[in-house]
Chain A
Amino acid sequence: MRSLRILAAMFKETISGLKRGGWSNWLVISILTIALFIFGGLLQTTMVIKSMVTSWGSQLEISAYLKDGHDPQKVARIISQLPNVQIVEIVPKEVAWAEMQHNYKVAALNNPLPNTLHIKLTNLAAVETTAEKLKTISTIEHIRYPLKVARNLNRFRQFIEIAGIVVTAALSAATLIVIGNTVHLVIQSKQREIEILSLTGVSPWYIKGPFILQGALYGTVSATLAAIFIWTLHLYIDPYVHDQLLSFLPLSNHSMDVGLLPTFIIVLILGIAVGSGGSAWTSGRYIKI
């Protein structure tokens, strides 16, 4: 009961600190919200790309685009003799063009598409060696296989991850400075209370606790706002990106379905850590007991 009473008194002090923070509270919350929004957005993006890479990179298929004037049946027969090849599906250029015209309402032009062979393999480990063999067949103009694209996509994801960490670190540092200044102002305005409490034997944790709670509250409010913005953005752009990517890339319908909850939890933890950490550092620096 006594601990609960102390906790309640600490909350009261926290509210009083927030009142004294005035407009600075909103400055802290705004900057922290922007930082967490960017961090959460990039985190969600990298998680979606990772899911796509995993889903797509594990597809056992190679697309081979043939040079004009060669019989796809003949090339398909040659390819089906290669080891690890399970099925070779022929997509004649006329069929591909008709489909494209139907789906995208392309203007009536001469068909620019090549005959295509979709080669399904029995073993993921054989994708690259088979691709190398296909490259040696002179009638094949170009090949594309998910594993290679997935690798490029993975490099892109790594770039976003690093950029995300750098941007988040920079914004977190800016936030720490603003939190530090705000909490410092509140500490100065409560100097008398701090002195009284300190000289009358109140525990340092009670004295510093309200400032740390104030920081944690900044983090919680900012993380909640950032989560709302991320969720809104997700609702708005997800169907669009989903449609566009699924029409171009051989992805399953579920390859982009990455839940937002883990991102929200990480954003909340980061928000509370930055908020309370900044306040703890400032109160440790300016409150001498």
Chain B
Amino acid sequence: MIRLQNVYKEYTGKPALIDVNLHIGLGEFAFLTGPSGAGKSTLMRLLYREETPNKGIVTIGGVNITRLSPRQVPLLRRRLGIVFQDFKLLPKQSVFDNVAYVLRALGVDEKDVKRRVSSALAIVGLEEEQLELPENLSGGEQQRVGIARAIVNGPPVLLADEPTGNLDPQTSMEIVQLLERISQRGTTVLISTHDVPIVNAMRKRVISLKQGQVVSDVDSGVYEIETTR
């Protein structure tokens, strides 16, 4: 589903990713780990075409996204769900409206909006809170709203950039387990994180980056082993 071939990216002469090769299959669940500055965010930004590589190819669902024209980028992003560390919720809109926001912008029929939002909120377990404002929710609940918004359009790929960065360990585990359940429904999930306990507890595929290079890629891996080796 996601493939990177010999990807090289630099910022003002300083390499951020060096010769990265990677393949993540349909419905797969993987962690992207590494210390700050390892290149995790750069790799994520390449996947949702916020950046383009200086060299190499990035494909999603068989489409070479490095060659997309600016007009085609929105079409790619409709096939992706993105979850952010800081949730990026609209504070003056209810949970329902936050999740419905993008669907309405895409011109989806209001009946369909209701159906899809209710379904997404049911998946993240927030049916009862749909009329609440984000400020009345806990951090974990706010992140669930962010996840509901990311999956409401039924994307085949979900990218989560440090989704547990602002959460306590217990809530972090619940969020990652929620993302795993979403993956089990057939969505490819890639989580960028440096949350050691979570990665170690999940025993899923771990792709470790260090100084812009993939230093290990292990199924059922753990964080410490890959980064301290």
Q: How far is the CA of A2 from the CA of B112 in the complex (A)?
A: 12
Measured as residues with beta carbon below 8 angstroms from the partner, the interface class of chain A is 20 to 34
A197 surroundings in chain B (CB, below 8 A)? 101-102, 105
Known: A9-B104, A192-B90, A193-B90. A200 touches B77 (CB 8 A): yes
Please tell me if the beta carbons of B105 and A202 are within 8 angstroms of each other in the complex.
Answer: yes
Q: Is the CB of A196 within 8 A of B107?
A: no
User: Pick the contact of B107 from A6, A192, A198, A200 — CB < 8 Å?
Assistant: A6
A residues whose Cβ falls under 8 Å from a Cβ of B = 1-3, 5-6, 9, 192-193, 195-204, 206, 289
Contact of B102 with A196 in the complex, beta carbons under 8 Å: yes
Q: In angstroms, how far is the closest chain A Cβ from the Cβ of B68?
A: 12
Partner of B101, one of A6, A196, A198, A201: A196
Query: Quick one: closest A residue to B92, CB to CB?
Result: A16
Q: Knowing A6-B107, A197-B102, A199-B82 touch, does A192 contact B88 (C-beta < 8 A)? A: yes
Asked if B104 and A201 sit within 8 Å, CB to CB, the answer is: no
Q: Judge whether B106 is part of the interface by a CB distance below 8 angstroms.
A: yes
- How many A-B pairs with Cβ below 8 Å? 62
- Find chain B residues with CB under 8 A from A204 CB: 70, 74
The 8 A CB mask of B106-125 against A (1 = contact, 0 = none) is 11111000000000000000
Q: Are A200 and B78 in contact (CB under 8 A)?
A: yes
Within the complex, the shortest CB–CB distance from B136 to chain A, in Å, comes to 18
Q: Would A206 and B88 be within 8 Å (CB), given that A199-B82, A200-B78, A201-B80 are in contact?
A: no
- In the complex the two chains form, what is the Cα distance from A1 to B70 in whole Å? 26
B225 at the interface (CB under 8 A from A): no
B88 and A196: CB pair below 8 A? yes
A193-B90, A196-B88 given; A3·B75 CB < 8 A = no
Docked pose: A198 CA to B153 CA in angstroms: 15
Whole-angstrom CA separation of A138 from B20 in the bound complex = 103
Contact A200 B88 (CB under 8 A): no
Smallest beta-carbon distance B143→chain A, Å: 15
- Give the distance in Å from the alpha carbon of A145 to the alpha carbon of B216 in the complex: 98
Instruction: Answer whether A201 and B77 are a contact pair too, CB < 8 Å, given A3-B107, A6-B107.
Output: yes
Query: Once bound together, how far apart are the Cα atoms of A20 and B101, in whole Å?
Result: 18
Given contacts A200-B77, A201-B76, A204-B74, contact A5 B107 (CB under 8 A): yes
Asked if A203 and B90 make an inter-chain contact with CB atoms under 8 angstroms apart, the answer reads no
Q: How far is the CA of A200 from the CA of B77 in the complex (A)?
A: 5
Instruction: Decide yes or no whether B8 CB sits under 8 A from chain A.
Output: no
Which among A1, A195, A201 is the interface contact of B74 at CB below 8 angstroms? A201
Residues on A with C-beta less than 8 A from B153 are 200
- Contact for A9 among B48, B73, B78, B105, CB less than 8 A: B105
